[in-house]
Amino acid sequence: MNIPHHVAGHTLILLRNGEDYFPRLIEAIDKASSFVYLESYIFAADEAGRSVTDALKRAASRGVRVHLLLDGYGSLELPVAWEQELVQAGILVLWFRRQLGWLSLQRSQLRRLHRKLVVIDDMQAFLGGVNIVKDHPDGIPSPRLDYMVLVEGVIVRRIHLAMQRLWKLVAWINLRQRGSHEKIRLPARQPDAAVQFLMRDNFRHRRDIEHAYLQAIESAQQEILIANAYFLPGRRFRKALLERARAGVRVILLLQGRVEYRLQHYATLALYDELLKSGIEIHEYLASYLHAKVAVIDGKWSTVGSSNIDPFSLWLAREANIVVRDAGFAADLREDLMQQIAQHARRIVSPDWRKWNVFSWAGSKCSYLLMRLLTGLIGRERGRDDI
């Protein structure tokens, strides 16, 4: 952990939780000389939000152009006074879909900005699953388990371009054409590069992250290790995992052990029988809430990002992952995940889990059917989406 990995002209550092991430982020912001772009699903009014806010204000006071894009649902509780403080400091603030229809099941209302991205001076980028919020949930002594990647290299410009384009789109939709933007020159595209930036959006990249997962899983020969907070894959994804497990590939899942969102949690439990009968290992993380969205396959392919393996991330939200084809980086991530499994998780063994609570088992079946119904409804809806 925190070891620099040099991959195809890039330098990558794996960071666990805000404990690793926030000091690196603040240090990078304090060194910024030209611009900072920051996107976050959650930007909380707590000690983590304060430390990042103060760093952004210091940057703006030096003349650095600071762009802050927040999701209208995830950051809903950010006080108006806090936003005004940012704006008064010269920071440009935009909101992604701030108008919410609480009683609406329209697909457009479910499209969220779930990415966690930062680009600084086209020199460094951060991406992964950590929001701007304190590590420790209230009442739980251990931090959420999550990961970010600090990356330097050509890929930073691709991330910058993606963030700049979304900023311009949101500004146009909200009739707020604000901010100056940098011209970005990209090298020729390298689709088979060892380091790739993948997005999920509502235009050309609807299934890029899902397809990358499937391609890696379907070609796995030895081991598939996935840690995912909200695991409710579609049929093709499940089929790929089941087939590789039956072919003798070791498949290890690290899933949520604490109940955070009941519907999603119990819907996932309904998949356990099928997964366990195929020889897939299931471990539930118990120390705190699991928030990671990472995977390591065959010790050489790995991904870190914001995308869960559920319909909301794979079909609706704007997400961002990095894919790295490098044995050293993969070993770093795998070692940490296996350590978390050994120290903070319990293994689920079939068929004992069903006996724990009959009502929980019945509830899981109902939750799964309800999630399938909701998935069908949002999947069938067709219409023009602006962002």
Among all residues, which ones are annotated catalytic? 114, 116, 121, 291, 293, 298
Q: Among all chains, which residue has been given the structure tokens 């930073």?
A: 156
Peptide bond into 143 cis (omega under 30): no
Q: Are 128 and 116 in contact (CB under 8 A)?
A: yes
d(CA 235, CA 376): 13
- The crossing angle, in degrees rounded to 10, of helices 235-246 and 208-218 is 20
Q: Which of 125, 324, 307 is nearest to 230 (CA)?
A: 307
CB 281 within 8 A of CB 250: yes
Q: Are strands 124-128 and 117-120 parallel, antiparallel or unpaired?
A: antiparallel
**Distance of alpha carbon 40 from alpha carbon 130, whole angstroms:** 9
Q: Are strands 92-96 and 117-120 parallel, antiparallel or unpaired?
A: unpaired
Tell me the longest C-alpha to C-alpha distance in the chain. Answer: 62
Q: Where are the beta strands (DSSP E) in 65-123?
A: 65-71, 92-96, 117-120
Indicate the burial class of 194 (C-beta count within 10 angstroms; 0-12, 13-18, 19 or more). Answer: middle
Q: What is the DSSP string of 132-185?
A: BS-SS-TT-SSPPB-EEEEEESTHHHHHHHHHHHHHHHHHHHTT----------
Surface-to-core class of residue 146, CB atoms within 10 Å of its CB (0-12 exposed, 13-18 middle, 19+ buried): buried
Q: What does the DSSP assignment read for 308-340? A: -BSHIIIIISBEEEEEEE-HHHHHHHHHHHHHH
Strand partners, 200: 319
**Share of the chain residues as helix, strand and coil, in percent rounded to the nearest 5:** 40, 25, 35
Joined tokens for residue 73: 């649902």
Q: Between the CA of residue 308 and those of 118, 319, 377, what are the distances in Å?
A: 19, 9, 20
